[in-house]
Amino acid sequence: MRGGRVRLGSIGLGVYAALAFVLLLTPIVYTIVFSFNDTVKSNIVWRGFTLENWTSVCVVENGAVCAAFASSLLVGAVATVGATILGTAIAIALVRYKFRFRSAATLLIFLPMATPEVVMGAGLAAQFLAAGIQKGLGTIILAHVLFCISFVVVTVRARVASLDPAMEEAGRDLYASPAQVWWRITFPLLLPGIIAAALLSFALSFDDYIITNFNAGPAETFPLYVYTAAARGMPAEANVIASAVFILAIILVVASQLARAAREKRLAQN
């Protein structure tokens, strides 16, 4: 009887997992499939298979989607660099140094993560308006940097807290300068956490709509373009861009896992 309950529970867990995967992957599969749809104005009804959407995604009449995608790449890259540098410095300061109001600073750093994006977006828009700053890609980048810093601090702070200070002390005992200790010991140990924080920041920036909508002005990023296009029927070119981003992400993840497995195999053989 007990074995029957265990077997029934395993089957139920498998069915639940399968349904969860179907629910998660259905929108992705739909996006990829309809990127090959032979559409005219809207991309809601399947009209036939074609490769023209992929081969002519950035032609003159469809150039808006590529321009919006390029804007998102630019915003994401600059915001990621800014947020990663500032967030890493803040994380190191919060873990390694004791100063007055450190607890308050920690609370303020983590506060944006708990704040709804609509509140943060509206507040930043009001600040830009009060300062007389013209909205555009610059204000989007500033808003994304402020939004992503908290996530960088959380990710890098955990990595900094896990470092063994004895390794840095060993470097100083060998007469290494502070710069040499940083570049040869501390930074390589922090690098996995910094890379993870940078990837998270880029994903959050590239995908953001609410904060971007409040601070974009005449500028248009890919999420803004997709939202506007969805009101009149999603163009197939947007599906092409989204599918390409997803496929590229899968390739990078698979390549990373294969490289990691190969490295572990070499270490095991040695």
Does pLDDT of 67 surpass 80?
A: yes
Domain residue extents for the chain? 63-269
Structure tokens belonging to residue 46: 């399947």
Architecture of the 63-269 domain: Orthogonal Bundle (1.10)
Rounded to whole angstroms, how far apart are CA atoms 206 and 100? 36
Task: Indicate the range of 71-85, 88-102, 178-192, 219-233 predicted with least confidence.
Answer: 219-233
pLDDT above 70: residue 60 = no
List beta partners, residue 37: 49
> Does the pLDDT at position 175 exceed 80?
no
Query: Taking the mean position of all CA atoms in its chain, how far away is CA 169?
Result: 35
Task: Write down the pTM of the prediction.
Answer: 0.81
CA angle, residues 238, 211, 65, in degrees to nearest 5: 20
Percent of all residues in the chain with a pLDDT value above 90, rounded to a whole number: 25
Q: Tell me, what's the pLDDT at 2? A: 53
Residue 245 confidence (pLDDT)? 85
Structural tokens at position 129 = 């308006």
User: Which amino acid, residue 29?
Assistant: V
